[in-house]
Amino acid sequence: MSIPTVWSLAGISNGGLGAYSIGLRQAWRFSAVIAMAGAPGWHQYAGGSPSSVERALLAQVSGFDLARNAHNTDFRFYHGRTDTGPMRPHYVEEFEALLQRKNIPYKNRWYDAGHDILYIVERREKLFEDLTRVVRNPHPAQIKMVTSDFRANRQHWLEVTRFDGYPALAEIDGKIEDSTLSIKSKGASALRIYAQDLPLSPNRELKLQINGEAVFEGKRDALGHRVNVVHQNGKWRLAYPETSTLEKKPGLSGPLTDGYYEPAVHVYGSQNESTRSLLEQSATKAARGWPLWLWFFSQPVVADSELSEAQIKNNNIVLYGTPDDNIVLKDRFQATDPDHT
């Protein structure tokens, strides 16, 4: 049994946006999450009208879409009614209405103030004194989680190891009643259960059911420290998920922002005059950070005809366009499929 921990995450303004995002992606790691004067969703802060593809990618890292992960975390948010900045009060009102519809627990407070609410929320650090008494329960009997992100695919004793329709969000619920562990999985085809973190003694009898199917029955310690289950041939069973080189999996998955963890060169296709300008604009935008921008951050942008062997050797290469637009893509296709046209 691990020791219950007190570990809070708090942020204001852009930090508030980060608290919504990080705090709800990784909710199980925190005893409390406090978002102040932030936008709950990246789709809100990005503005405009994101396409369906952009909206799906933003959902992977957006607190607005990951709110159900807060069920076992003391989740709080604070906002000013007269905030005139990019963190619009109606964004938070939309989020609060969502929480109420979904019966997701939260604590919040509105202030007759603008954007700078840090000191009235902290109350001369009394808030942080209060948070020292909020203890994370590492062994909850019930888990409600949503994710399509292999960097944030765990909540307490339950983890997603394969998704059905990446990047569509998967929803997984787990609940222990008496000696039965019932899991409902929608959008996930493989799971990992950290048996040592279940609120059951090792010698306790355990029945495991997934989507109503009986998967295991026996002593809890027979499962070891962790166990893998997969959905194959229409049934759930104890097994490791099969691997494929063309499948999203841990370490090869995204989300799109994973591209900023290592050096990269953005290579736009220059072979087609009708698409060259658009591809160069897209590459330039992504090289400054996505979905918005990253301060003091810029990666190289080059045309496909200018890409060097040294750049290929020392960087991840992000390619823009089709094989008809981008000579690098065209060369790769011809190398692996000489009959490709």
User: What's the pLDDT at 245?
Assistant: 66
Dihedral of alpha carbons 273, 275, 278, 279, sign = negative
Are 16 and 108 contacting, i.e. CB atoms less than 8 angstroms apart? Answer: no
Please name the residue that has the structure tokens 């995002």: 21
Please name the residue that has the structure tokens 């094989």: 323
Q: Report percent pLDDT > 70 for the chain.
A: 93
Q: What is the per-residue pLDDT across 217-242, written as a single tens digit (0 to 9) for each? A: 999 999 999 999 999 999 999 999 88
pTM of this prediction? 0.82
Are 20 and 63 contacting, i.e. CB atoms less than 8 angstroms apart? Answer: yes
Of the pLDDT bands very low, low, confident and very high (cuts 50, 70, 90), residue 331 is: confident
Q: Is 90's pLDDT higher than 60? A: yes
Q: 10 Å Cβ neighbour count for 285?
A: 15
228: helix, strand or coil: strand
Q: 10 Å Cβ neighbour count for 169?
A: 19
| Arithmetic mean of pLDDT, 196-205 | 92
Of the pLDDT bands very low, low, confident and very high (cuts 50, 70, 90), residue 247 is: confident
User: What's the pLDDT at 310?
Assistant: 95
Give the DSSP per-residue string, 109-145: EEESS-S--HHHHHTTTHHHHHHTT----SS-SEEEE
- B/e letters for 188-214, b = 16+ CB within 10 Å, e = fewer, are bbbbbbebbbbebeeeeebebbbeeee
User: What's the pLDDT at 341?
Assistant: 45
Q: What is the per-residue pLDDT across 272-304, written as a single tens digit (0 to 9) for each? A: 999 999 999 999 988 988 766 677 888 999 999
Angle at 16 between CA 63 and CA 166, to 5 degrees: 25
> 242 to each of 189, 196, 228, 341, how far by Cα in Å?
11, 24, 11, 32
43, 23, 36, 18: which is closest to 77 by C-alpha?
36
Are 155 and 149 contacting, i.e. CB atoms less than 8 angstroms apart? Answer: no
Please name the residue that has the structure tokens 């009959």: 339
